[in-house]
Amino acid sequence: MWNFIRQNNYFLFDLYIFLFIFSYGIYILTTGWLIQDKICRNLFNQSRTFCEYINEKDRFDENEIIIRDEILAFGAMFNNYANLIKTLPMFAWSLFVGSFLDRFPNATKILFIWMNIIQIFEYIFNIANAYYFELSPYYLLLVNLTVCLTGGMTTFLAAINRCIVVNSSPEFHAIYFTILHVILVIAPSLGTLIAGSNIHFLDDNEQNTQLRNYNQNFIIMLGISLVSLLMILLIKVERDETMKETIGDSDSEALISPDMNNNISDNTNQSVNGISQRLFTVRETKFGKIRKIIRTFFDFENVRQTYHCFIKPRPIHAREQIFFMVFILFLFLTNMTGIDSIFLQFSQQVYQLDAQEYSFISVYIKILPTIVLLISSYVLINKLQLKDGTMFALTITSGFISQVLIGTFPNLLIFLVAIFIGALFNLATIVIKTKMAKIVAADEAGKIFSMTSTLESLSPTLGALIFSTIFASSISFYPTMCFHIAALITVISLILALFQDVYFKNYDQ
């Protein structure tokens, strides 16, 4: 029974993704408060009371409000430094990972294990930074260097997207992408909720130099990461029948790999020496194959194959449609990552939220659209079977209206209503990914989604740079301006989506 479960535990992969992203949600909120508190105490030399109640604007006089705004603006801008460190490694990994995983499907599991191990070391580093609170917040930037070793969330998402396309039939792509989106929303939201509910100011008996109990959250994250590491060691990531279809005739390249002199045994020699070759493969499987796979990862042939797959001519103008959809996804990601990078400081400046209130609001703005997404994806796609153009118009317009309302009315109730109105916006990304999955073949999925990962690696830097600069420059007189800029980007996305749908449809007809 145990062996059967271990060999057929594909369902545990979804749970693994959930735990990995759940700990990431705890990490984001806890690290965000740790950085802001360090900036307030260590860089601006403000009192403990000032930093504890920085979200309550009414407590401060005119001069203190100026300092408060500077701290919040600096906290929003601080994300730019982290994104700049991560951009180049994430970009480099995104160039190689897609084609590499198409060539070596078995390496997918190894990649997840490696990322989990690095994540554990990241959490240990943050525990040390929280314990030695007097250290400069700039030391926290060093943890971003681990992206050089893993590629960060870009690699993680590229591998997951590929697994969905390869391990599911085309008619279920939309369902699985919806499930993935739900996991990517609910898991970090619950992590944020747990982190916000758990974190609190230290009382007089507990306080040393720290303002909050950061390490309590970091230790929880470390425990979750250890559990997820044990899970991925046991989980079977790819189905055998899918891998056979994916690998095809290149099985000897993907699983055995070329030898040290780049010579590949011919079929005659393999038939003569079959038994000895299999025994040799068994001995080499665990260590030799891993070593060869790692050496092959940074092969520029992977980059060439990825870009050739992206730009090669396709029938019915599929290539041009892919170009449009990838760029639209890039605009969506720029909007999303840009707003997320400043939302902690934005919520304190506009709505004066504390840590607990912020965590509840963060969960609301993620969970509510997800519930609407589950219902709407079933009704609009499966029942009403709306066309892509109609779906684009409906979903993107809802996001535009939501952003305009938030930018125009700095009121928490209006904000909550606007989030409900814009709940359909997330469905647009699922429509795009589903349409892309229909266009590309299964053995090209890794390469195509590697291109989206390349843009995902660039969008946080561009988004954080745009929105943090706007927020920092307008924080005192127009703090909601960033949402009007987001609405402008959304309008551009809507125009491009409708153009590609109408133009290519009419051209094909």
Q: What is the largest CA-CA distance in the chain?
A: 87
Tell me: the pLDDT tens digits for 304-333? 777 777 777 777 777 888 888 888 888 998
Instruction: Check residue 271 and give its pLDDT.
Output: 44
Instruction: Check residue 164 and give its pLDDT.
Output: 74
Instruction: Check residue 444 and give its pLDDT.
Output: 72
The contacts found for 356-365 with CB under 8 angstroms, 24 or more apart, are 356/196, 356/197, 358/29, 358/196, 359/29, 359/192, 359/193, 359/195, 359/196, 359/197, 360/193, 360/196, 362/29, 362/189, 362/192, 362/193, 362/196, 363/189, 363/190, 363/192, 363/193, 364/416, 364/419, 365/419
Instruction: Check residue 294 and give its pLDDT.
Output: 64
More confident residue, 279 or 387: 387
Q: What number is the average pLDDT over the span 60-80?
A: 90
DSSP 375-412: HHIIIIIIIS---HHHHHHHHHHHHHHHHHHHHH---H
Distances (CA, A) of 430 to 292, 376, 437: 36, 12, 10
Tell me: the pLDDT tens digits for 255-308? 333 343 344 444 444 443 444 444 444 445 555 666 666 666 667 776 777 777
The answer to whether the predicted template modeling score (pTM) of the entire model surpasses 0.85 is: no
Quick one: which H or E segment has residue 509?
none
Q: What's the whole-number average pLDDT of the chain?
A: 79
**In a 3-state reduction of DSSP, which class is residue 201?**
strand
Instruction: Check residue 254 and give its pLDDT.
Output: 39
Q: Residue 445 contacts by C-beta under 8 Å, 6 or more apart in sequence?
A: 102, 161, 162, 165, 166, 437
Instruction: Check residue 286 and give its pLDDT.
Output: 53
More confident residue, 87 or 441: 87
> How sure is the predictor about 208, in pLDDT bands with cuts at 50, 70 and 90?
low
What is the token pair recorded at 346? 């934005």
Domains and CATH numbers, the chain: 2-241+306-508 (1.20.1250.20)
Quick one: which H or E segment has residue 359?
helix 355-376
